[in-house]
Amino acid sequence: MRIAILLLLIVSLLAPPSSHAADRVVAATLDNGLRVLLLEDQRSPIVSFQVWYRVGSRNEHRGSTGIAHFLEHLMFKGTPSHGPKQFARLVEENGGQDNAFTSQDVTSYYVDIAADKLDLVIDLEADRMQNLLLDPKAITSEREVVIEERRTRTEDDPGGFLGEEVSSIAFKAHPYGAPIIGWMDDIKRVTPDEIRAFYKTYYVPNNAIVVAVGAFRAADALEKIKKRFGRIPRGKVPPPMLAVEPVQNGERRVVVKKQQAELPIVYMAWHVPNQGSDDAVALELLSTILSGGRASRLYRDLVYQRQLALEAGGDNSYFSIDPNLFWFWATPMPGQTPEKLEAELSLHMERLKTEPVTEEELARAKNQIEAAFVYQEDSVHQRASLLARFEIIGGFALKDSFLAKIRAVTAADLTRVARTWFAPDKKSVGVLLPKS
Amino acid sequence: MGARVVLRASQVGRALALACAVLLASFMARGPAGAAPLAHREVLPNGIVLLVAERPAVPIVAVRVLGRAGAVYDPADRAGLANLTGAVLTRGTAKRTGPELDSAIEFVGGSVEAGTGRDTLIVSMTAQKKDLTLGLDLVSEVILTPTFPEAEVARKVSEIQAAIKRSEEDPGTVAARALGRLVFEGHPYGRPVEGTRESVARLTRDDVVKFYRERARPDTTIIAVVGAVTVDEARREILARFGSWSRPADPPATVPAASAPATVREETVKRELTQTTIMFGRQAVGQTDPDYFPMAVGSYALGGGSASRLYTRVREESGLAYAVYSWVAPWRLGASFAVSAQTRTAEAPKVIAMIREELARMGREPVAERELALAKQYLIGSFPFRLDTSGKVADFLVATEDRGLGLDYADRYKERIARVTAADVQRVAAKYFAPASFNLVIVGETK
């Protein structure tokens, strides 16, 4: 969960808002279904150009997990007109930075580059949306890279390993239970044909969002995007993901021993609704009250006052497409047991159900979320990412109502939401035990 | 709003490259000819250097206060003292307890943090413009009137010890720590910033108080104020809080620059892991040495990006690693150059051999024109993104000032990088990339 903690910080910075921000977004849907969001930001001569595909590990099946992420790697392996390695080379020799990530819900590619290179990036991204080589030899060697990545992130990382185990017991039916990077045997097995079929199915303009923020004229940029991406034919509507996670009946638990671990870790996870529910913003606030900074409950009590934990926190997945998990975690200090920390985390959860949070806690959490929105406005990359995240869950304009929803939450709402969602017999618990 | 994601490139590599690049690479300090410099600079009467960059578009302000109080100044038997001092600095002032301070800044969604590195202790503050007064009040209290409460020192000692213990499970941290010791043997840079569990156990509140009294002084302090603020406003607010901080009569104690150890060594740390972490390292030169610029270009061509030689050969062509990269890390009193990779244990010897071959090839033959152009254009052209937020600008300003690189460093850097030739890269690589001159640390399963 250390990765998740880091990402919590990153993603909170993605929050934007200034009520005026969305007003200036130029939004269009091309004839082939490609969604385009453009926002002018003339402060520096730079642009962040991002392509988000509505496909992630959520769209995978048993036996071929990790295919979305594997494909993300292969998107850098060339097309007939831009051969292997040309993508990175062209971007770097034009002073740009590029990368990509795969999540449960999306696969996202970005190039941050000087604004006068926008044509180049549009050309590269449009090309690989349609013409990826997927050469079997490249797949063979990249498979080994992905396997190494899995070793780094999961096999040799106790926190990553435990997180994967907990997700897999929390979800019985829904693909969120499988790791984004895939199970090792699936990574080893998946065939070039399956990857090609996955690409053909999901990498179609009507399943993608192009977002750009930076120093361009939106009308010009839109014309360029239409000209280049507009040529790509609309694809079939990708198959819907139909799995629904049944209600959890009874606590689930996994205990993992890792020889290389120095300290135990405790994870607790509850199923919570996604942003479509009125409870979602309250869960955001709960997560902030529990672990947003050193004045937050878990830090102040478990880390600071009683020194039971080296770190502790809680994390909600607000932008999740389907209902996902609300996580609690703690790393016990040497001499403390995971049992003790699990009991303490449970007490905090119970307290949320019985005592309203204080006015100060609620106001602080609201102010923290609001400030994070303002900080995010400082970077074109973050501005673009946030527009895309809201677009994925229903429309970029949702970002303007998000803060109003946050402000409307009361202490009584938090109590009700905690009682509704955090039943003791509906949790999944993971414990990592170190050597000896 | 957490989301778990998996990135294509090595996050570690990118983060390292970025951290180094912020310190060393070029950037658009000036825009087109005639544009204003990146920041206003002035020296206050008590010796504080004040740097102000106005970025009015977004209503936030980032402040950095840099003090020359890094781990390099730890007494030999007190490794970790500077780091402990930084950790306790925000844990109590004459006016507020640590929790009161946390509550005050977090109530407005801001942050005040102190962080210690090899050379410096930096207090960072971020707040919305409307909360600037509060933020600066807290920063000045932390810098000028810290109380270092006994109980807080004890808390941090056990936290740091636990964090050190936990970091032993991370092979990258274990390797970097061992490599630092080999590369800077005999110099304080060879000691870990956080100390060891044993050295930290010996530290007392008296040590902290004495260290801070000796190291915190206005004439070695640099303050950057960046964001929705004017120069006049920043000067007024900083003078009001720091103007009466008096400068001691004696000059601050100094530490000599690092010199290369007589021998290079190999060290293996056994861990039961599926991968082996490989880290090569040696001393190098910093930005004040003319060799630095060809070295930066050479390092980028060797292992800096996804078009580099190591990335191409080890990752793309051989599928032997997810993370493989090289980087130059300049400090105030020395510099290091390192190459790192993680690979499945059985292939570690092969990857070690590949890295050695590529290091040697850099000195044996000139880089191709296209590789050279790519590295130079990337280093020059990507810089605006490293200065695209107020926080990043503030970090850059205090770092370049501390190294004495001057406000025109960005321009000079760009110009120096642009002038680097393939012959320069080869000459510098022959001098610094010779495989036999590297220390090597291996962390993982061993036979």
Mutation target among A67, A156, A289 for the B interface, most CBs of B within 10 A: A156
Q: What is the pLDDT of residues B144-157, one digit of tens each?
A: 999 999 999 999 99
- B32 touching chain A per CB within 8 A: no
B111 to chain A: which residues are within 8 Å by CB? Answer: 293
For A310, the closest of B127, B162, B317 (CB atoms) is: B162
Judged by a CB distance cut-off of 8 A, whether residue B276 touches chain A is no
Two structure tokens written together for B339: 């190459």
How far, in Å, CA of A387 to CA of A148, rounded?
Answer: 33
pLDDT at A15 (0 to 100): 37
Average pLDDT of span B289-297: 97
Measured from the Cβ of residue B238, the count of other Cβ atoms closer than 10 Å reads 21
Q: Would B260 be classed as within a structural domain?
A: no
What percent of chain A has a predicted confidence (pLDDT) above 70?
A: 94
Mean pLDDT computed over A21-43:
90
The alpha-helical segments, DSSP class H, found in A84-213 are 86-93, 118-130, 136-150, 158-170, 184-189, 192-202
- Band of residue B116 on the pLDDT scale cut at 50, 70, 90: very high
pLDDT single digits (tens) B207-255: 999 999 999 999 999 999 999 999 999 999 999 999 999 999 999 999 9
> What is the amino acid identity at position B53?
A
Say yes or no: B292 and B436 in one domain: yes
Residue B246's H or E segment, with its range, is none
Nearest to B307 among A92, A294, A315 (CB): A92
Contacts of A297 in chain B (CB under 8 A): none
- B322 vs A: CB within 8 A: yes
| Residues B78 and B146 both lie in one domain | yes
Contact A333, A307 (CB under 8 A): yes
Give the confidence band of B33 by pLDDT, cuts at 50, 70, 90: very low
Angle (deg, nearest 10), helices B390-402 and B11-24: 60
In a domain, A352, yes or no: yes
Clarify whether residues A280 and A170 are in a common domain.
Answer: no
Check which CATH number belongs to the domain holding B209 and give it: 3.30.830.10
Q: Domain of A367? A: 252-433
Is residue B32 in a domain? no
Q: Taking CB atoms and an 8 Å cutoff, what residues of chain A touch B381?
A: 94-96, 114
- Residue A153 in tokens: 């992130």
Q: Which residue has the tokens 């990088």?
A: B417
- Closest-CA residue to B110 (of B132, B131, B127, B135): B127
- Determine the 3-state secondary structure of A52 from DSSP: strand
What is the CB neighbour count within 10 angstroms for residue B370? Answer: 11
Nearest to B441 by CA among B223, B264, B253, B322: B264
The label of the residue with tokens 């204003």 reads: B36
**Band of pLDDT at residue A353, cut at 50, 70 and 90:** very high
A194, A229, A264 — which closes off a domain? A229
On the question of pLDDT at B13 being above 70, the answer is no
CB contacts of A94 in chain B (<8 Å) are 377, 381
How many residues appear in chain B? 447
Q: Which residue has the higher pLDDT, B206 or B26?
A: B206
Residue B116 shares a structural domain with residue B173 = yes
Which pair of structure tokens corresponds to residue A27? Answer: 């939004």
Could you give the C-alpha distances from B377 to A250, B274, B297, B368, in angstroms and in order? Answer: 59, 38, 10, 14
Alpha carbons A129 and A208: distance in angstroms, whole number: 9
Give yes or no: residues B207 and B145 share one domain: yes
CB < 8 Å to B168, chain A: 262
CA separation (Å) from A187 to A68, A138, B134?
11, 14, 52
Cα angle A53, A189, B3 (rounded to 5 degrees) comes to 35
Q: Which residue has the tokens 């044996």?
A: B364
B274 and A155 in contact by Cβ < 8 A? Answer: yes
Note whether A297 and A211 are same-domain residues.
no
Read off the pLDDT band of A84 (50, 70, 90): confident
In a domain, B413, yes or no: yes
Exposure string (b/e) for A118-147, b if CB count within 10 Å is 16 or more? bebbbbbbbbbbbebbbeeebbebbbbbbb
Domain-embedded: residue B89: yes
Report the chain A residue with the minimal C-alpha distance to residue B227: A378
Same domain, yes or no, for A208 and A330? no
Among candidates A85, A149, A364 on the partner chain, residue whose Cβ is nearest the Cβ of B322: A149
Residues of A in contact with B344 (CB under 8 A): 147-148, 151
Rounded CA-CA distance A139/A99 in Å is 19
Q: Does A245 reside within a domain? A: no
Per-residue pLDDT at B340 exceeds 90:
yes
Structural domain contains residue A301: yes
A256: which DSSP letter? E
Asked if B319's CB is within 8 angstroms of A140's CB, the reply is: yes
Q: Is the pLDDT of residue A67 over 50?
A: yes
Q: Are A349 and A341 in contact (CB under 8 A)?
A: no
Any domain includes A236: no
The secondary element (H helix, E strand) that includes residue B429 is: helix B422-432
State the smallest CA–CA distance between residue A18 and chain B in angstroms.
10
Main-chain dihedrals φ then ψ at residue B177, nearest 5 degrees:
-65, -45
Distance from C-alpha of A181 to C-alpha of A183, rounded to nearest angstrom: 7
Contacts of B415 (CB under 8 A, 6+ apart): none
Same domain as A277, residue A414: yes
My answer on whether B348 and B214 are in the same domain is: no
> The domain that contains A155 carries what CATH number?
3.30.830.10
- B346 in contact with A, Cβ within 8 Å: no
Residues of B with CB below 8 A from A149's CB? 6, 322
Provide the 3-class DSSP secondary structure of residue B256.
Answer: coil
CA dihedral B152, B158, B159, B160 (to 10 degrees): 110
B377 with B299, same domain: the answer is yes
Q: Are B302 and B308 in contact (CB under 8 A)?
A: yes
Establish, for the pair of chains A and B, how many residue pairs have beta carbons separated by less than 8 Å: 234
- Indicate the average pLDDT of chain A: 93
Nearest beta carbon to residue A7 from set B4, B103, B163: B4
Q: Which of B186, B210, B242 is the last residue of a domain?
A: B242
Q: Taking CB atoms and an 8 Å limit, are A93 and B3 in contact across chains?
A: no
Asked if the Cβ–Cβ distance from B107 to A318 is below 8 Å, we say no
Q: DSSP character for A54?
A: S
Per-residue pLDDT band for A116 (boundaries 50, 70, 90) equals very high
CA B202, CA A310: separation in Å to the nearest integer? 20
Measured between beta carbons, which residues in chain A are less than 8 angstroms from residue B1?
8, 11-12, 14-15, 284, 316-319
Amino acid at residue number B249: A
B423 Cα to chain A: minimum distance (Å): 20
Residue B161 near chain A (CB below 8 Å): yes
Domain limit, last residue, from A170, A195, A229 = A229
Chain A interface includes B351 (CB < 8 A): no
Tally the domains of chain B: 2
Q: What is the pLDDT of residue B19?
A: 38
Query: Looking at the 3D structure of chain A, how many domains does it have?
Result: 2
Q: Using one digit for the tens of pLDDT, what is the confidence trace for B129-138?
A: 999 999 999 9
Task: Establish if A42 belongs to a structural domain.
Answer: yes
Q: Are residues B197 and B303 located together in one domain of the fold?
A: no
User: What are the tens digits of pLDDT across the range A193-250?
Assistant: 999 999 999 999 999 999 999 999 999 999 999 999 999 999 999 999 999 999 999 9
Per-residue pLDDT tens over the stretch B390-442: 999 999 999 999 999 998 888 888 899 999 999 999 999 999 999 999 999 99
Shared domain check, A359 and A213: no
pLDDT at residue A87, rounded to an integer:
93
Q: Using an 8 Å Cβ cutoff, are A24 and A396 in contact? A: no
Query: Does residue B1 lie within any of the structural domains?
Result: no
- Do both B235 and B283 map to the same domain? no
Partner-chain contact A103 B102, CB within 8 Å: no
Residues B293 and B357 in one domain: yes
pTM attached to this predicted model:
0.93
Q: Does residue A330 fall inside a structural domain?
A: yes
List the strands of the sheet with A265-272, edge to edge. A252-257, A427-433, A265-272, A324-332, A309-315
Q: pLDDT of B316-334, one tens digit each? A: 999 999 999 999 999 999 9
Report pLDDT digits (tens) over B378-398: 999 988 887 889 999 999 999
Average pLDDT over residues A124-132: 98
Looking at chain B, which residue has its C-alpha nearest residue A41? B57
> What DSSP string runs through A205-242?
GGGEEEEEEESS-HHHHHHHHHHHHTTSPP-PPPPPP-
Provide the β-strand partners of residue B327.
B338
More confident residue, B1 or A347: A347
Residues B116 and B62 reside in one and the same domain? yes
pLDDT in tens, B253-277: 999 999 988 899 999 999 999 999 9
Could B315 and A93 be called an inter-chain contact, meaning their C-beta atoms sit closer than 8 Å?
Answer: no
For the beta carbon of residue A218, count every other beta carbon within 10 angstroms. 18
Q: Would you state the pLDDT for residue A158?
A: 95
Identify whether B247 is part of a domain.
no
- Give the Cα separation of B339 and A149 in Å (integer): 18
Any CB–CB contact under 8 A between B390 and chain A?
Answer: yes
Q: CB distance from B446 to chain A under 8 Å?
A: no
Do A289 and A179 reside in the same domain of the chain? no
Using a CB–CB cutoff of 8 Å, tell me whether B100 touches chain A. no
**Do the chains contact at B171 and A156, CB–CB below 8 Å?**
yes
Contact B322 A4 (CB under 8 A): no
Question: Is residue A12 situated within a structural domain?
Answer: no
Q: Identify the closest residue of chain A to B273 by CA–CA distance.
A: A156
Amino acid at position B88, single letter: V
Of A320, A364, A374, the CB nearest to B107: A364
In chain B, residues with a C-beta closer than 8 Å to the C-beta of A377 are 58
Q: How many CB atoms lie within 10 A of CB A32?
A: 17
* The last residue of a domain, from among A229, A262, A291: A229
Minimal C-alpha gap between A315 and chain B (Å): 6
Of B169, B321, B382, the CB nearest to A97: B382
- pLDDT of residue B36 exceeding 90, the answer is no
Quote the percentage of chain B above a pLDDT of 90: 86
Q: What percent of chain A has pLDDT over 90?
A: 91
Where does the pLDDT of residue B23 fall: very low under 50, low under 70, confident under 90, or very high at 90 and above? very low
Question: How many angstroms away from the CA of A246 is the closest CA of chain B?
Answer: 22
Nearest residue of chain B to residue A371 (CA atoms)? B109
Last residue of a domain, one of B242, B257, B278: B242
pLDDT score for A23 = 53
Same domain, residue pair A258 and A355: yes
Does residue B423 share a domain with residue B281? yes
pLDDT digits (tens, 9 = 90+) for A296-314: 999 999 999 999 999 999 8
What span, in angstroms and rounded, lies between the C-alpha atoms of B293 and B300? 11
Which residues in B lie closer than 8 A to residue A50 (C-beta atoms)?
none
Contacts of B22 in chain A (CB under 8 A): none
Identify whether B131 is part of a domain: yes
Within a domain: A235: no
Residues B276 and B415 in one domain: yes
B184: pLDDT confidence band, cut at 50, 70 and 90? very high
CA A207 – CA A66 distance, rounded (Å): 19
Q: By the 8 A CB rule, do A211 and A388 touch?
A: yes
| Complete DSSP assignment for B271-337 | ---SEEEEEEEEEE--TTSTTHHHHHHHHHHHHTSTTSHHIIIIIIIT---S-EEEEEEE-SS-EEE
CB contact at 8 A, A109 and A50: yes
Residue where the block lists tokens 């033959």 = B365
Residue B353's domain spans which residues? 266-444
Give the per-residue pLDDT at B447: 56
Which residue, among A144, A275, A381, would best test binding to B if mutated, counting the most B CBs under 10 Å from its CB?
A144
